[in-house]
Amino acid sequence: MPAMSCITVTRTVKFKVRPETNAGKRDALLATVQGWDRAVGFYTDFFLEHPGIFSEQKPYVVRRGKHAGEERRRPLTNQEILTWAERCTVATRAHPNPARDFGKVCPEAPTVLRRAAVNHAAGAVRQHLSNLANWEAADPGKRGKAPAPPRPHPHLVAYEGISTLRLEDYRKGHLRLRLLDGGCWEWRNLPVQGPPYAGELFAQSQAEKARIVAEREAQNARLRAEGRTERTREEREALRPAIGVWVARSPVLIPKGADWWIHVPFEKRVAVRGKAEDRRLAEPDLRVGTFDLNAASTVGAAWQGRRCIGIKTVWHARENANRENALRKVARKQRRSGKPVKGERSNHSLWNYVRNLDDALAWQIAARIVTWAVLLGLQVLVFEHLRPYRPRRGLSWSRRTNRKRSYWLRGKVVKYARHLALIQGILVVERNPAWTSRACPKCHRLAERFSPGGTGYPSRLACGHCLAPGLAGLRHRDANVAAALNLKPKWDRTFRYPTKEEVQAAAEPRRAGNGGAASGANGQTADALPA
């Protein structure tokens, strides 16, 4: 049996600052973000002037193991870089005249804000130096432009000391932040509107943080009484959040146009029993869900061992048609306006509609998949590994673009489903999709795809080997359901791939106006076979 492990998952709850917030608080929000930009910009320029600090090494002595007592060298830690940067930029009694005075740029800035700016700038500059080194080592004819230096980001991470997240404040309809108001940093109540489940998350977080504080105080008293300086493994584990409890982390202040948002990340530890492949080998009766993603629908099959216990279909053909209609409008307007002007954005509202439609639809499909998986007690979800996509030529721009975005939507669904499933302790894996929609799920031989009406997308599957003569019950064999069923042997590593002779004998016809109909096993065309 695979060992149990814990994984930390994060979900972000978004709170919008109410539009009726008075002008004074809005000015304070703007001044705070501008002060954060100045702080990050100051330390970004400072680190760019001293890039050698990231390659500097410090000697240390190994304390444990077979190399105990051996002297080695290591790079500076983030805390040591922070200490060095503050020593060079903050005026103190020991260093009254620093090389660059941070106090002149952001006077009376909280210590938490300054240290957050130092860490943010150090990470950005470290990444820039790494990208610059890779660019210099690349081929001059292929490397393109040199990476641009980092710029300050307007998103302010409000660590403890400049923000408080309390259930009592949220029940009154506001969150507390420390803002720059009139040149002074003052605490302000910001009226916000959030989702209905936010109160329960705040309640869990506040209770768990209170438990951790009480546990830390009890451990400190026990350490002093026993004369110990280090905590045991069990004591360190007791100071971590409990499994299955949401704990709030530092909020992020984000300006979006004329609106202000506060994003609060919540973390939860989830218990997972080993990796998916280990569980497949150790648990033959593992409950697994296999899903086939298509442009118009998503079909799922639930399994317990070798027995199928349910089929689920999520339809989204209407949204696919709405996207294509919007893209047709974009193409029509672009033809009327002529050649697009470089630097100008055309059809802004339509493109926003398409992007929002795809994102909302991906979340909706992923949520319905995971909800169904939780109801049936599934422990692993299997999707197709769809990479890459090249739409066939001869299509109009709108149809070709719609197929591209429909294909990208499937990747979003897998990404969001993996996130939502992991919150429930469910693992997500991907398998090779080759031949899943062409093989018969009963006899595992290549079948024929066709359209019942003789035109359009060949959504049906006809097998001339395992069905009765005349292919009775032909209209009940769905190609998408067959693909979902065939993913189970892909998960079990027992899928029978067709031989070269079988592929040549049962070559799939082109999806032309006849709906993909071809000669069946008895010489008839698929659309002419009896029902």
Structure-model confidence comparison of residues 510 and 183, the more confident one: 183
CB atoms within 10 A of CB 514: 18
Domain extent listing, the chain:
4-238, 286-339+347-431, 439-531
416-443 pLDDT, tens digit per residue, is: 999 999 999 999 999 999 888 888 888 8
277-302 residues labelled b (16+ CB within 10 A) or e (exposed): eebbeebeebbbbbbbbbbebbbbbb
Percent of the chain with pLDDT over 90: 61
Q: Are 330 and 343 in contact (CB under 8 A)?
A: no
- At 467, is the pLDDT very low, low, confident or very high (cuts 50, 70, 90)? low
pLDDT at 1: 66
**Long-range contacts for 151-156 (Cβ within 8 Å, ≥24 apart)?**
151/41, 151/44, 152/36, 152/37, 152/38, 152/40, 152/41, 152/44, 153/40, 153/120, 154/33, 154/36, 154/37, 154/254, 154/255, 155/252, 155/253, 155/254, 156/32, 156/33, 156/36, 156/252, 156/253
286-339+347-431 adopts what CATH topology?
Nucleotidyltransferase; domain 5 (3.30.420)
138-191 pLDDT, tens digit per residue, is: 988 888 889 998 987 778 999 988 999 999 999 999 999 999 988 889 999 999
What is 300-363 written as a DSSP string? EEEEETTEEEEEEEEE-HHHHHHHHHHHHHHHHHHHHH-SPPTT---SHHHHHHHHHHHHHHHH
Question: Would you say residue 108 has pLDDT above 70?
Answer: yes
User: What distance in Å separates the CA atoms of residue 27 and residue 31, rounded to the nearest whole number?
Assistant: 6
- At 61, is the pLDDT very low, low, confident or very high (cuts 50, 70, 90)? confident
With residue 133 as reference, give the H or E element that holds it.
helix 111-137
Question: Would you say residue 5 has pLDDT above 60?
Answer: yes
User: What distance in Å separates the CA atoms of residue 403 and residue 397, rounded to the nearest whole number?
Assistant: 10
- At 468, is the pLDDT very low, low, confident or very high (cuts 50, 70, 90)? very low
Question: Would you say residue 342 has pLDDT above 50?
Answer: yes
In this structure, what is the dihedral angle of CA atoms 458, 461, 465, 467, given to the nearest 10 degrees? -130
User: What distance in Å separates the CA atoms of residue 403 and residue 323, rounded to the nearest whole number?
Assistant: 10
Q: Residue 430, Cα to own-chain centre: how many angstroms?
A: 16
- Pairing of the two strands 247-248 and 427-431: unpaired
pLDDT at 530: 31
Structure-model confidence comparison of residues 334 and 251, the more confident one: 251
Which residues contact residue 493 at a Cβ distance below 8 angstroms, ignoring those fewer than 6 apart?
none
pLDDT at 210: 95
